[in-house]
Structure 1
Amino acid sequence: MSTQADHGHELIPRPEHTPDALRAALAILAPRRLEEMQSTKDEAFARAVEWQSLSPVRSWVLAWARDIEIARRPDLSVRHARAKSDLEHEDPVVAQDALRELSAVLDEAMKAVRE
């Protein structure tokens, strides 16, 4: 597990950016998503072979590191869930605010995992 800035309460330490470490973290935080993780991993590795490039694997690692960052930090997790629930709100202003908030949460999580 790597070091990270203090974001308040964190459920687990930030995992290293390896498939095994990310899978272990997800098994603790959101085990129902393990099948999805494996499926997207298989797709990324197949694309990497097809394209003869590691970029699909790097993208897979970053996407899951970002999602795990959100899940391991209750502050981000609550903001993420609230924004997602308001995305299709009948009031377009609420939906627009939710989209901005969701983008902000995803950006904050991505920035954190790239530190």
Structure 2
Amino acid sequence: MPTSPHPTLPHPSRIPRPAHTPDALRAALARLAPARLDEMQATKDDAFAEAVEWRSLTPVQSWILTWAREIEIARRPALSARYAQAKAHLEDPDPLMAKEALEELSAVLNEATRDART
């Protein structure tokens, strides 16, 4: 009987959509894509610094939505596959293929953003 390479990790689609808080988003990312935690922290630091500089919560809200979208993609295998496929063809030498990849990438990001907001 075949075994999963990560038997203790749940299937990504079984990870519930996290709350829109830094701690909940970080916990979800730690389960889905732990290699991206440093990237998340760096962008969080930047967002909080901008919030102080701008005297606005807009950078923090943007950071939360960005990572909620990234987690939405990571937790849904079909959406993640579409995202990876589109990114792989963005620089295709065939302009039509590159355009289609850009349109698909945009559609994936829009879907993930919409669903992350619900």
TM-score by length of 1: 0.91
Identity %: 67
Give the SS at the match of 1:16. coil
Pick from 83, 86, 90 the counterpart of residue 86 of structure 2. 83
SS at match of 1:17: coil
Rg (Cα) greater in structure: 2
- Alpha-carbon separation, structure 2, partners of 1:14 and 1:61: 13
Secondary structure, counterpart of 1:62 in structure 2: helix
Give the drift of 1:114.
1.1
**Structure 1 Cα separation of the partners of residues 15 and 57 of structure 2:** 28
- Kindly indicate whether residue 60 of structure 2 is the aligned counterpart of residue 46 of structure 1: no
Match of 2:59 among 50, 56, 60: 56
Contact 1:83 1:102 in 2 (8 A): yes
What 5-or-longer segments of structure 1 have no aligned partner? Answer: 1-8
Partner of 2:102: 99
Q: What is the aligned residue count?
A: 107
Which residue matches 1:3?
Answer: none
Shift of 1:97: 0.3
2: CA distance between counterparts of 1:11 and 1:98? Answer: 28
> TM-score scaled to structure 2, two decimals?
0.88
| Contact 1:26–1:68 (8 Å) recurs in 2 | yes
Matched, 1:109 2:112: yes
**Does 2:75 match 1:72?**
yes
CA deviation digits over 1:39-63, x for unaligned, max 9? 0000000000111110000000000
Structure 1 stretches of 4+ moved >3 Å: none
- The answer to whether the 8 Å contact 1:11/1:72 transfers is yes
Residue segments in structure 2 that go unaligned for 5+ positions in a row: 1-11
- 1:84 alignment partner, SS class: helix
Q: Given that residues 11 and 74 in structure 1 are in contact (C-alpha distance below 8 angstroms), is that contact kept between their aligned partners in structure 2?
A: no
